Each structure stands twice: as structure tokens, then as C-alpha cells.
Amino acid sequence: MSVALGTTRPLPVRTTPVRDPGNLIVSLPMTAPYAWIRHGEGLVGWGEAARADVPPGPGRFAWAREWLATVFDGALVDDSVRSPGSGPVAFGTFTFDENSPGSTLVVPQAVLARKDGRAWLTTIGDQHLETFTPLADPGRISYGDGSLTAPEWEHVVARAARRIRQGELEKVVLARDLLATAEQPIDIRLLLLRLARRYPECYAFSVAGLVGATPELLIRRTGQEIESLVLAGTTPRGTGPADDLARGEALLASTKDRHEHECAISSVRQALAPLCSSLRTPDEPELLVLPNVQHLASHVTGRLADGASVLDVVAAMHPTAAVGGTPTATAIEVIRELEGMDRAGYAGPVGWIDAHGDGEWGIALRSGIVEGRRARLFAGGGIMGDSDPAAELAEAQAKFRVMQYALEG
């Protein structure tokens, strides 16, 4: 069902340059903030001019595209900035599994943006800007098991590795969840502020209660140019500089992790090639070093052939091997069978799109779903035939620390 406020008549949209607001997050009111921020730049929004709860199923991206066209094409836009992210913008989150409900698109009533030395404010209708309220600390955080205990999840990893060795598939990405309960309601702005400061290389995001900081850029579209950052293959940070260096070198030399990374690159290449007039993928991955883990990373760039929007590219790419597995269809069935939970928006596409089809979408990793005093945190990793369950559990626990830091400070 679609709930669209204000779409029965044209949306009056006005974008004007503003003075540099500094930290975008501190400009947000507490209620339902939207955000996409990296290195202090990006977009934040609040209020709802239009909202759609996207029906699940294989046609969900097509449905979303048609809904966005209805909203954007009918807008009366006064945009003196004329930049990607100006004019009307929709923030969105899509569930990992196409059959799961919960995919959402929202056009905020106000969007504040900061990029490349410029800043602008977009408002829809007679928007009265909400005033900032002080950040609220959630107090003490307690944790409990999610869908599976740690030993149960290790058993699932062992079962998946055995099926890979038997030749059923090459790789499957398995996730687990962790439940957090706070003493006070969780202020999403505080989580965003901590994530943006601690993980500036990542994209801090907030859409419809899904909050996190993902290192993985699924796709960026600027005009006809596109860019994707593929991550697959992970190791925890070391205990000191020497150990850190040794772990990075071991990751680059790991047959298991290099094969996992090549599966992910191949998945992206196959998805993008039909949409692109040119596509460039690197011969060798590089290391992306974050405060908690190191990843094998590859930058993929290309040029779209037929003017597809960023959401068209998202539809073609999701799910990649980096979050599903290889071959994808088999891996998704194994995930449904073994994982024992609904991922909701975790490992699904999250980001924004403007009326010109430009935008940035990431994969919702290092994230959680926040509701009141409770948060459901997610983490996972790629399982291969020689994966060790204890090592995979340790990797997932290292990834949980991102959101645990956001909650605890």
C-alpha cells in the first residue's frame, strides 16, 4: 500500500543556497531523521511530504520507480542550485529479501545538503522548520540473543560450509542479529553523530528506523557516470601496528578471501554490463582499513548507455554476491533455509534518489533497526567451503562493535 501525503496535487518544491551549516546532524530535529553522510558531506532530511510502503515481490523496484515518477513529475520545482541532490529527493530502504515487507520510500518536507563547498536547503510546501532539541543519551545498554545463540549460529555456518564443499554452491553470506535494550528512548541523531565521527570513510545513514554506517557503496550515479565500491573478504584489526600489517598482508594473500572477492566482482560486472556503454574493474583489490576491520576493496566505474536512473541500477545489482552469495539464486534459498531470521533492511539497498535519477545507494551493513528503547543489530560474513565457524563468529562480533559503539559511545 502507498501512503502519499500531498501527491493528489503538485508538490511545490523550493531549493535555495544557504550558508555552510557545519555539522549536518546537529541541524536535525529528533523526530524521524533521514541522513546520508560521509566525511561531513551529504544530505539530511525531516518531515514527510510523501511516503510509500513498497509492496514486496519481484516487481517492487518497478513499482517504486512508477511511484517516484508520479511524485517527481508532478512537482512544481524552483531550484536555483541545480546539483545532484537538489530539488525533490526521496530517501529509501529496501529489504534484503524481495518477499519481505518493509521497503519504504520517503520524500522529506525539508532536506539540508552540504557538498563540494556548497550548501542548500530544499523545502516542500509551507514547511516550518523544526527546532533542534538537545541530544539524548540512551543510558545503559543491555544485550540479548537474537534469533540464534552464538553456538547455534556456528552450527549453521558449519552446515553451510559442508553444502559448499559438496558442490551445491560456491559461497553464501550468513548474518545474525543481536538485541539491544536501552534505559531511555534511543536518539537516532546521537547514533549518527557517533558513527560519522568514528567511521568517516563510511556512509552514515538513517531511513525509516534503519540506522548504520556502511563501508559499501552499491552505486553512485552522477549524470551518466556511475561508481561502485565492492567489498568482500574481511579480517579484524590487529592488536598493534605490526599485527595490523600482518593481518592485512594475510588478507591480500588469502586464497579463500580472494576467491570470495572475485565472486563479488563478477556479480557486479554481470549486473552492470547490460546497462553500461563502458565498464572498468580493477585487476587487483586494495585494502580498505576501518577502525574495526580491514576489507578487500575494488572500485568499479562505468558510463550508463541508456539514461537509467540510479534506482534502475540498484534493481539490477541487488543482491550482489557480497551480501548474498554465488550463485545468487541458490545462495538466497540457502539463506532462507538456514539463517533462521528475517533480515528486514539489513544488507538491502539504502540511500537517496533525486528527480533527475541521480543518487547514492549503499548496502545496509553495520546497521540496526531502532524503535523506542530497543534496537536489533545485524552482522554477517561470507562463508566458503573452508570457513571456520569460530572465526566467522569472531568476524561477526567485530562487525557488531560498530553499532555497539554508536549505542554506548
Q: What is the pLDDT of residue 32?
A: 77
Neighbours of 119 (CB within 10 A): 18
Judge residue 234's burial from the number of C-beta atoms within 10 Å of its C-beta, 0-12 exposed, 13-18 middle, 19 or more buried. buried
In a domain, 5, yes or no: no
Mean pLDDT, all residues of the chain: 93
Which of these, 207, 192, 219, lies nearest to 102 by C-alpha position? 207
In a domain, 2, yes or no: no
Which of these, 349, 367, 406, 319, lies nearest to 102 by C-alpha position? 349
* Total count of domains within the chain: 1
Neighbours of 236 (CB within 10 A): 18
**Dihedral of the CA atoms 241, 198, 258, 361 (nearest 10)?**
-160
Q: Evaluate whether 80 touches 22 at the Cβ level (below 8 Å).
A: no
Among 26-30, 54-58, 158-162, 275-279, the range scoring the smallest mean pLDDT is 26-30
In a domain, 193, yes or no: yes
In a domain, 135, yes or no: no
Say if residue 319 is preceded by a cis peptide, omega within 30 of 0: yes
pLDDT-derived band at 126 (thresholds 50, 70, 90) equals confident
Q: What is the pLDDT of residue 130?
A: 64
How far apart are alpha carbons 385 and 171 in whole angstroms? 8
Looking at the DSSP bridge assignments, the partners of residue 351 are 92, 361
Out of 41, 66, 154, 171, the active site residue is: 171
In a domain, 134, yes or no: no
Per cent of the chain over pLDDT 90 is: 84
| H or E segment and range at residue 56 | none
How far apart are alpha carbons 3 and 105 in whole angstroms? 10
Between CA 408 and CA 165, with CA 95 as vertex, the angle to 5 degrees is 90
Q: Are strands 110-115 and 34-38 parallel, antiparallel or unpaired?
A: unpaired
Q: Does residue 360 have an active-site annotation?
A: no
How far apart are alpha carbons 230 and 209 in whole angstroms? 25
Q: What is the pLDDT of residues 134-164, one digit of tens each?
A: 899 999 999 999 999 999 999 999 999 999 9
Q: What is the pLDDT of residue 173?
A: 96
User: Would you give the DSSP letter of residue 187?
Assistant: -
- Residue 257, SS3 per DSSP: helix
Q: Does residue 216 have an active-site annotation?
A: yes
- Residue 320, SS3 per DSSP: coil
In a domain, 376, yes or no: yes
Q: What is the pLDDT of residue 133?
A: 80
Residue 213 belongs to a domain with what CATH number? 3.60.120.10
Q: Which three cell numbers stand for residue 330?
A: 541458490
In a domain, 329, yes or no: yes
Q: What is the pLDDT of residue 68?
A: 96
In a domain, 4, yes or no: no
Q: Evaluate whether 260 touches 170 at the Cβ level (below 8 Å).
A: no
Out of 154, 216, 260, 360, the active site residue is: 216
Q: Evaluate whether 211 touches 192 at the Cβ level (below 8 Å).
A: yes
Read off the pTM.
Answer: 0.93
Q: What is the pLDDT of residue 5?
A: 41
> Domain range holding 296?
12-129+143-408
What φ, ψ does residue 280 adopt, rounded to 5°?
Answer: -125, 125
Q: What is the pLDDT of residue 246?
A: 95
Q: What is the pLDDT of residues 49-108, one digit of tens each?
A: 999 999 999 999 999 999 999 999 989 999 999 999 999 999 999 999 999 999 999 999
Judged against a pLDDT cut of 90, whether residue 30 lies above it is answered with no
Q: Evaluate whether 230 touches 298 at the Cβ level (below 8 Å).
A: yes
pLDDT-derived band at 7 (thresholds 50, 70, 90) equals very low
End-to-end CA distance of the chain: 38
- Residue 266, SS3 per DSSP: helix
Q: What is the pLDDT of residue 129?
A: 61
Which of these, 259, 298, 260, lies nearest to 282 by C-alpha position? 298
Which of these, 379, 380, 367, lies nearest to 407 by C-alpha position? 367
**Dihedral of the CA atoms 178, 183, 186, 187 (nearest 10)?**
-150
**Dihedral of the CA atoms 214, 217, 222, 225 (nearest 10)?**
170
